[in-house]
Amino acid sequence: MSGADQPEGTARRPSRQRSAVLALLDDLDGFSSAQDLHALLRERGDAVGLATVYRALQALVDDGQVDVLRGADGEAAYRRCSPVHHHHLVCRSCGTTVEVADPPVERWARQIAAEHGFADVQHQVEVFGTCRACTTAGPVVS
Amino acid sequence: MSGADQPEGTARRPSRQRSAVLALLDDLDGFSSAQDLHALLRERGDAVGLATVYRALQALVDDGQVDVLRGADGEAAYRRCSPVHHHHLVCRSCGTTVEVADPPVERWARQIAAEHGFADVQHQVEVFGTCRACTTAGPVVS
DNA sequence: GTGTTCATGAGAATCATTCTCGCATAGCCG
DNA sequence: CGGCTATGCGAGAATGATTCTCATGAACAC
């Protein structure tokens, strides 16, 4: 456990299963849980073990090719995303996701951290809401 | 899961255990996991069941008296906090937490959401870093 | 004071995630 | 070219946090 395992992101042996996971993520729009992805792969005919899905997902997250989000229930949700830094605007009803880049927030986070003497800053920003389609179509039943 | 259970936050019967949890959180500075809180209560002599700690924590979160944060491992961490909206600056080494209020980010989140037609907006902003004390004292071994 | 209701506590149950171990395959060496 | 070795895979067990169940005890209502 010394931290950095692979010198670079692509030091792993290529495999059909890994590509299948990435391909599936490419086809999906919103965030999906690891269990869902596993079930979908099975339906597609790409038989992949559950443990392998987790391994592939972790590798992809390490590589920065996939974003991970923790829902309120602690379940991890994954999504293919652009490698550049960005944040998400997620519809809490239909799961649609919009990627947003935002220099002001980046700057603000760095500044706040610097003011308090914090270094090596990371920040995590997610915005949840109900998209227009869901607002008009299906208001939450009370 | 019909949504609103209690009409108002204080509809629960008061109890020694619930106060003990809140009192303990008052004494602690950073975020603590439910399991840690349970162990600490035991050490203090306030014998409280683990399930009760979880129940009390959920109630307090519902009331907005406690903040919950999900670590990278999915474990929930709780912390007593002011009832007004704010965000956190957390030291990833020693756990020290600074509450930061920030109108600009609030405005930014609302604006971004509005631009994309999202309503009923919530946002989640956490900034992680290494505080000055930890930076000078114990740099991370590579 | 008595009955009813709600919270508690201990342990079992659940669920996502990780680990173990044996097997298959890919790449490399002789 | 054949065999060797490391690495990834798969299935199921193990782990660990959180939630549920149900019987007991305490608090409120009358």
Mapping DSSP onto H, E and C, the string for chain B reads CCCCCCCCCCCCCCCHHHHHHHHHHHHCCCCEEHHHHHHHHHHHCCCCCHHHHHHHHHHHHHHCCEEEEECCCCCEEEEECCCCCCEEEEECCCCCEEEECCHHHHHHHHHHHHHCCCEEEEEEEEEEEECHHHHHHCCCCC
Q: DSSP letters along A97-130, please?
A: EEEE--HHHHHHHHHHHHHTT-EEEEEEEEEEEE
**What phi and psi values does residue B46 have, to the nearest 5 degrees?**
-80, 90
Option in A105, A124, A127 nearest B126 (CB): A124
A35 interfaces chain B, CB cutoff of 8 Å: no
Terminal Cα-to-Cα distance of chain A (whole angstroms): 49
- Residue B10 binned pLDDT confidence (cut-offs 50, 70, 90): low
- The answer to whether residue A114 scores a pLDDT higher than 90 is yes
Contact in structure between A41 and A61 (CB atoms under 8 Å):
no
Q: Which burial class, exposed, middle or buried, applies to B84 when counting CB atoms under 10 A from its CB (0-12, 13-18, 19+)?
A: exposed
Gap from B98 CA to C15 C1', Å: 34
Please compute the mean of the pLDDT values over residues B7-18 and round it to a whole number: 73
User: A50-63 vs A34-44: helix axis angle to the nearest 10?
Assistant: 120
- Residue A99 binned pLDDT confidence (cut-offs 50, 70, 90): very high
- The answer to whether residue B47 scores a pLDDT higher than 80 is yes
For residue A82, how far is the Cα from the chain centroid?
10
- The answer to whether residue A5 scores a pLDDT higher than 50 is no
- Residue A77 binned pLDDT confidence (cut-offs 50, 70, 90): very high
Place of tokens 């990371």: A122
- Residue A11 binned pLDDT confidence (cut-offs 50, 70, 90): low
Residue A40: per-residue pLDDT: 95
Testing the interface with B: which of A67, A120, A122, A141 to mutate, by most B Cβ within 10 A?
A120
Strand D CB shell (< 7 Å): A 12-13, 15, 17-18, 47-52, 55-56, 73-74; B 13-16, 33-35, 50-51, 54, 58, 75-76
**What are A125's strand-pairing partners?**
B125
Please compute the mean of the pLDDT values over residues B80-104 and round it to a whole number: 89
pTM of the model: 0.85
Testing the interface with A: which of B61, B121, B127, B140 to mutate, by most A Cβ within 10 A?
B127
Residues of B in Cβ contact (< 8 Å) with A127: 109, 112-113, 118, 121-124
Residue of B nearest to A110 (CA): B127
- The answer to whether residue B26 scores a pLDDT higher than 60 is yes
CB contact under 8 A, A89 and B129: no
Percentage of chain B surpassing pLDDT 70?
89
B114 interfaces chain A, CB cutoff of 8 Å: no
